[in-house]
Amino acid sequence: MIRLYRRFWGQSLLARLTRMLVLIALLSLTSLISSLVIADGARGEASAINMAGSLRMKIYRAVATLNAIPTRSRPDQIKALEGSLNDFEATLASPTLTQFIPSDELDRRARVYRDMLDAWQQRVRPLLVAEADTSRFNPEARVALLAQAQNLVTTIDELVTLLQENVEAKLALLRLIQGLAITAIFVVIAITIYVTRADVLVPLKELQEATQKMRRQDLSVRVAQYAANDLDGLGLSFNLMAEDLDKLYQNLEHKVAEKTESLARSNKSLELLYRSIGRLYPSAINSSTHLSLLNDFEKAIGVGHGLVCLASDSTHGGTPASPQFSSGDRQLCQVSNCSDCHASSAIRWREFEHLRALTLPLHDVNSSYGVLQWVVPSGQDLDPWQIQLLEALATHMGIAIGEAMRAEQSKRWSVYEERAILARELHDSLAQSLSYMRIQVCRLKTAVQAKEPAQTELIMSSLDNGLTNAYHHLRELLSTFRMKVEDNLTIALEKSAAEFSLRGSIPVHTQVTPTTSRLSPNEEINLLQITREALANAIQHANPSHIEVSFYESEGGGVHLAIDDDGIGIGEEHGRIGHHGLLIMHERANHIGAQLSITNKPEGGTRVAVQLTPRALSTSIRIAPGTKHELHA
C-alpha cells in the first residue's frame, strides 16, 4: 500500500503534501458547491408549502362565507364571496407555488396539482357560484358542495405532503454528499499521516539521536541516507557538518587562545584610552599631560616612542615634546621640515635614514593643531591594532585641544562683552547725568558771579534732581550687575517685581514663562532695565493699585515683554519721550533691535510693551559638516 502511495504521489515530501492539500481542498470545494446548489434549489420551497397549506383555509373561508348568506342574498355578501373565490384562484396560480410543480406529467406532484385544479374549476367553484345565485336555500346542494370541498382539501393535503417530501429528499442528499466528503477527507488525512510518519519520523529520530551524541562531543557519528525522500539531502548535510565540525574542533583551542589574547589586548587598550581621555580633556594644552600620555602609550605599544608637536599652521615651527627625545628625532623637527608634518591631513608614514615615523594629524572639524608622530626603527612596523590605538589617541587629542581653545576663547569673549555692556550702561546713564550736572555747575558759577539768587536757586534745584537721578541710576546698575550668574532673565524679572512691590507697597504680579530662545547678555540686561524703569515710572507717577509683568515666547521664536498698571495713565504733556525716563527706554529698545510701545489702555492705566527677535535667532549660521579648511604652508 505504501509503495502504491509513493508511486502515485511521488517521492518528494513537498509534492506529497501539496497534492494532499489540493485533494482536501477539492473535496471541501465539492462539498461546498453541492451544498450551495442544493440550498439554492430548495430556496422558496418553504413559502410554496405555506402557500399550498393556505389553500385549505381559503376554501373553508369561501364555504363559511356561503353559509352566512341567507335565503335572500345581498349584493355586498355576493361581492365578499367573489373576493374569496378570486383570492383562492390567485393563490392557486401563484408563481411561488407553481415553480415547484414539475412540467413532467409523470411526476406525482404534477398529477396531484392537475387533479386539484380540475376539482376546483369543474366541481367546487361551479357549486359555490350556483349556491350564491340561488334565491332559495337548497340543503342537498349544500351537502354536495361540502363533500366536494372536503375532497379538494384532501387533494391539497396530498400536494403539501409531496412538497415536504421533496424538501426532505434534498436535505437527505445534502447530508449524504457532506458525509461522503468528510469521510474522504479524513481517509486522505489518515493515510498521509501514516505514510509521513513512516517516511519522516524514523529519519528524524535517527538525526535526533545523532545530535545527542554530538552534544556529548562524539563527532564521529554519521547517519544513514534515505534515497526515498527529501531527508536524504538533510542526512548528507548532517554528515558534512559533522566532518567540518570535527576539523574545526581540532583548531578550536588554538583560535580560542588567539581570541583571548586579542580580547585581553583590546581590554587593556580601551582601559588605557579611557584613562587617557580622563586626563586629556581637563588639561589638553599642558605639555606635561602630553608627556604622561606618550609614556603610557609607549609602554602599551612596546615599539618605538611618540612625539607631539603643536602648531597652528605650517609657517611657524612648533615645539616638540617627547619623553624619549633622541638625537635621531631631530631629523623630524627641523624648522624647514614643518610643512612636511602639518601640510597633510591624512595619516601617513615618513621614511628617514635610520627610522620611520607614523604622522597622525591633531585636528577637529574646524582647525588643525599639530601632529602626533610615532617613531620606530627602520625595518620594524606597527600592527593594525597599534595604529588604530594611536589614531584614536590623535583624534581625542585634537578634539580636546580644540575644545580647550574654544573654551578659552569663549571666556575671553564673555569678559569683553561684559566690559562692553558695563561701559555702555555707565555711558548711557551715569555718564550722561554727570555731564548734565557739570553743565549745571558751570551755570551755577556764572549765576553766583552775577549775583542772581533766583537763578542760583533754580540751578541748585536742578543739581539736586540730577544727583538724585544719578544716584538712582547707580543703584539700578548695581542691582543689575550684582545678579548671580546662575540667574536667568525670568528669575531676574520675578526678583525685580518683588523688589518694586516691597518698595512701593503695591502688588506686582508676574506671568513669566521660561523661553527656549537664546538671549544674549546685552539683550537680557536691556530688557531687565526697561522693566525696572517702567516699574519705577508706574510707582512714582501713575498711582496704580496693581501692576502686572508678563513675559512669554511667541511661535516664531520671538519674546514679548509687557508691563501693565491700572493707574491714571500717561498724559500728552508727560507722554513725550523726554519725560519719566521714556527716552532711556526707547534707546535701550533701539539698541537691541526691539519694538517699544507705550500706550494708554481703554479701561484705564498704561501698557509698556516690548517685542524682540533675539539676535541669535535672526543671525544664526549653520556650519555644514565636512567643510574643508585650507592649511597655508
Q: Report the C-alpha gap between 120 and 114 in whole angstroms.
A: 10
In a domain, 221, yes or no: no
| 536 and 581 Cβ atoms separated by less than 8 Å | yes
The x, y and z cell numbers of residue 137, run together, are 336555500
Angle at 367 between CA 362 and CA 370, to 5 degrees: 30
What's the pLDDT at 479? 67
pLDDT at 602 over 80: yes
In a domain, 447, yes or no: no
Based on the domain organization, do 19 and 101 belong to the same domain? yes
Euclidean distance between the first and the last CA atom of the chain, given in angstroms as a whole number: 93
Based on the domain organization, do 152 and 277 belong to the same domain? no
Instruction: Please list the residues that pair with 607 across neighbouring strands.
Output: 564, 599
Please report, for residues 266, 300, 372, 516, the alpha-carbon distance to residue 305 in angstroms, rounded to integers and kept in the order given.
20, 11, 11, 50
pLDDT band at 611 (very low <50, low <70, confident <90, very high): very high
Instruction: Please list the residues that pair with 606 across neighbouring strands.
Output: 600
DSSP state of 330: G
* Residue from 322, 399, 404 nearest 355 by CA: 322
What's the pLDDT at 560? 92
Q: Kind and range of the H or E element at 167?
A: helix 139-196
Q: Residue 609 belongs to a domain with what CATH number?
A: 3.30.565.10
pLDDT band at 423 (very low <50, low <70, confident <90, very high): confident
Give mean pLDDT, residues 163-173: 80
What's the pLDDT at 549? 94
pLDDT at 94 over 60: yes
485 vs 284: which has the higher pLDDT: 284
Q: Report the C-alpha gap between 48 and 98 in whole angstroms.
A: 8
Q: Which residue type occupies 63?
A: V
What's the pLDDT at 606? 93
pLDDT at 332 over 80: no
pLDDT at 320 over 70: no
Based on the domain organization, do 24 and 137 belong to the same domain? yes
| 370 and 343 Cβ atoms separated by less than 8 Å | no
Instruction: Please list the residues that pair with 551 across neighbouring strands.
Output: 512, 561
Q: Report the C-alpha gap between 188 and 611 in whole angstroms.
A: 85
Tally of CB atoms within 10 A around 104: 10
The segment with the largest mean pLDDT, out of 53-57, 227-231, 251-255, 319-323, is 251-255
Please report, for residues 97, 397, 555, the alpha-carbon distance to residue 501 in angstroms, rounded to integers and kept in the order given.
100, 54, 31
| 542 and 606 Cβ atoms separated by less than 8 Å | yes
DSSP state of 336: G
Based on the domain organization, do 510 and 368 belong to the same domain? no
pLDDT band at 561 (very low <50, low <70, confident <90, very high): very high
Please report, for residues 144, 154, 598, the alpha-carbon distance to residue 129 in angstroms, rounded to integers and kept in the order given.
13, 21, 110
**pLDDT tens-digit series, residues 44-83:** 677 777 777 777 777 777 777 766 665 545 566 667 767 7
Q: Report the C-alpha gap between 165 and 161 in whole angstroms.
A: 6
Based on the domain organization, do 91 and 181 belong to the same domain? yes
Based on the domain organization, do 44 and 135 belong to the same domain? yes
The side-by-side arrangement of strands in the sheet containing 508-512 is: 508-512, 547-553, 559-565, 606-612, 595-600
Distance of CA 5 to the CA centre of its chain: 56
Q: Residue 30 belongs to a domain with what CATH number?
A: 1.20.120.960
| Dihedrals phi, psi of 320, to nearest 5 degrees | -75, 150
* Residue from 537, 554, 538, 534 nearest 546 by CA: 538
Q: Which residue range forms the structural domain that includes residue 273?
A: 267-409
526 vs 486: which has the higher pLDDT: 526
Q: What percent of the chain has pLDDT over 70?
A: 76
pLDDT, mean over the chain: 75
Of the CA atoms within 13 Å of residue 163, those in its CB half-sphere come to: 26
pLDDT band at 627 (very low <50, low <70, confident <90, very high): very low
Based on the domain organization, do 24 and 146 belong to the same domain? yes
**pLDDT tens-digit series, residues 377-405:** 877 778 888 888 888 888 888 788 878 77
| 534 and 585 Cβ atoms separated by less than 8 Å | yes
Q: Report the C-alpha gap between 289 and 58 in whole angstroms.
A: 118
* Residue from 304, 273, 279 nearest 292 by CA: 279
Based on the domain organization, do 45 and 180 belong to the same domain? yes
Q: Report the C-alpha gap between 232 and 238 in whole angstroms.
A: 10
pLDDT at 133 over 90: no
447 vs 64: which has the higher pLDDT: 447
Q: Which residue type occupies 306?
A: G
Give mean pLDDT, residues 125-129: 75
In a domain, 230, yes or no: no
Helix (H, G, I), strand (E, B) or coil at 497: helix
Q: Residue 273 belongs to a domain with what CATH number?
A: 3.30.450.40
In a domain, 419, yes or no: no
Domain boundary among 202, 231, 257: 202
What's the pLDDT at 414? 67
Based on the domain organization, do 98 and 194 belong to the same domain? yes
pLDDT band at 580 (very low <50, low <70, confident <90, very high): very low
Least confident among 94-103, 275-284, 357-366, 623-632: 623-632
* Residue from 170, 238, 236 nearest 210 by CA: 238
Based on the domain organization, do 496 and 592 belong to the same domain? yes
Q: Report the C-alpha gap between 248 and 242 in whole angstroms.
A: 10
pLDDT at 121 over 80: no
pLDDT at 566 over 80: yes
Please report, for residues 118, 293, 384, 554, 588, the alpha-carbon distance to residue 527 in angstroms, rounded to integers and kept in the order given.
113, 49, 59, 16, 8
Based on the domain organization, do 166 and 19 belong to the same domain? yes
Q: Which residue type occupies 349?
A: W
Give mean pLDDT, residues 596-606: 91
In a domain, 609, yes or no: yes
What's the pLDDT at 335? 42
Per the structure, the count of domains in the chain is 3
Q: Report the C-alpha gap between 443 and 440 in whole angstroms.
A: 5
Q: Report the C-alpha gap between 246 and 239 in whole angstroms.
A: 11
31 vs 287: which has the higher pLDDT: 31
Q: Residue 604 region, left (φ>0) first, then alpha (ψ -120 to 50), else beta? A: left
In a domain, 414, yes or no: no
Least confident among 156-165, 249-258, 484-493: 484-493
pLDDT at 298 over 90: no
What's the pLDDT at 631? 30
**pLDDT tens-digit series, residues 13-27:** 677 778 888 888 888
Domain boundary among 174, 202, 230: 202
